[in-house]
Amino acid sequence: MKRRKKDSGGSLDSLLDTITTVVGILIILLIVVQLGADSAVQRIVEEKKEEDAKELMDMAMKQFDEQQRALQQEKERLQLKQASQNKDQQKLIGEIAQLEKKLAAKKKEIPTASPSLQKLSQEKNKLQKDQQAVEIKVRKVKGLLAKASKPPSQSLSKEVSLPDPKPAIPGSKPYRFLCRNGKIFPLNDEALKKMVSTSLEISALKPNKDKEYDGKKFLSVINGKKPSTTFFTLIAREDKDKVIRFTMDRKDQAGEDEPRVSKPGSLYSKILAGLSPQQNYLLYEVFPDSFGVYLAARDLANRRRFPAGWKPAHRGADWWSYDWGYRTLGRKEYLASRPKPAPKPNTGKPAPPRKPANILD
């Protein structure tokens, strides 16, 4: 019996050892299998990642290629457009250069404006300004007339008189006034004429038998003396027709305007005080810009009962000029070289005597 127990215990131990061995082997197999499964999963995941990355890369490269082709096409289009614009610009630049050359050539062909044309242009501008000034004065006068009270028609018929043009009083001498630039200037041409003759007498300069002077010597004598009044300096010049003409050169600040001329202490009133209505008559040369000062001066002359007349004046750049009969060497030949006018038909009747000009109003 005891021997059996011993055999039974040994069997159990063997069984336990076997079981332990089998369990250990199973555990080892489980570990190996688990490790293999993890490795397979990792390998599959890595392969999937590589496939996805490659696919994404392919897609990105495809999009990049498409964008590159689109950009290349846009670049070529812009280059063609820029080349076309540059070509048009070069063409325009060439045309502009040609036009500039033609314009420069045309400018050379245009003759420069002569001094006379420039003077005419300046006079035209001045006359336009004068006309505007006169128009402004006319509007002011019309406004004053519209505001003024109208006198009865009976008094008008008594006060208004028609102009009565008539010649100057025989034996009376003229005294001239120039109304220009809004001022009045006594010309006093008789005094200036006397200064010229006196200067020639003092210089002992004599004309030839044809009453012709040496032009250079004549101008040297007169312009060297500088005959002048309070308002003007006289300047002599020799023209192409061998005639000596005298020009009035206005002095600075000379002349009296409309408010000043009517005052008792004005030079104009002093000049009138030195003249006689029985021995002198007044002549006014009136420019369009000075009608107001003429009316003021004429009113004072009328109150002092001076015979007077006026006429509109339009001259060039010179203020006033005179021809007092002085001629220079070569005048006789100049007249002989001119074509002679056709003779007037002889009617057999004597020409009627000339009537004196109606210079007074």
pLDDT in the model for residue 190:
83
Instruction: Report which residue type is found at 192.
Output: L
Q: Which residues touch 130 (CB under 8 Å, ≥6 apart)? A: 287, 288, 289
Report the alpha-carbon distance of residue 234 to residue 322 in Å, rounded.
10
What tokens does 356 get?
């004196």
Backbone angles phi, psi at 145, to 5 degrees: -65, -35
Q: How many CB atoms lie within 10 A of CB 306?
A: 19
Report the alpha-carbon distance of residue 128 to residue 207 in Å, rounded.
45
pLDDT in the model for residue 154:
41
Report the alpha-carbon distance of residue 109 to residue 112 in Å, rounded.
9
pLDDT in the model for residue 115:
60
pLDDT in the model for residue 243:
93
Q: Residue 97 burial by CB count (10 A; 0-12/13-18/19+): exposed, middle or buried?
A: exposed
Q: Residue 182 burial by CB count (10 A; 0-12/13-18/19+): exposed, middle or buried?
A: middle
Instruction: Report which residue type is found at 311.
Output: K
Residue 231 and residue 254 in contact, taking contact as beta carbons nearer than 8 Å: yes
E strand or H helix that includes residue 38: helix 2-109
Classify 340 as helix, strand or coil.
coil
Q: Which residues of the chain have pLDDT under 50?
A: 1-2, 5-6, 148-163
Q: Which residues touch 331 (CB under 8 Å, ≥6 apart)? A: 210, 212, 241, 242, 243
pLDDT in the model for residue 298:
93
| Residue bearing tokens 């007092």 | 324
Instruction: Report which residue type is found at 66.
Output: E
pLDDT in the model for residue 218:
92
pLDDT in the model for residue 214:
92
Classify 361 as helix, strand or coil.
coil
Report the alpha-carbon distance of residue 137 to residue 274 in Å, rounded.
32
Residue of 328, 348, 68 lying closest to 222 (CA atoms)? 328
What tokens does 194 get?
């006397």
Q: How many CB atoms lie within 10 A of CB 256?
A: 22
Q: Which residues touch 193 (CB under 8 Å, ≥6 apart)? A: 322, 324
Q: How many CB atoms lie within 10 A of CB 351?
A: 7
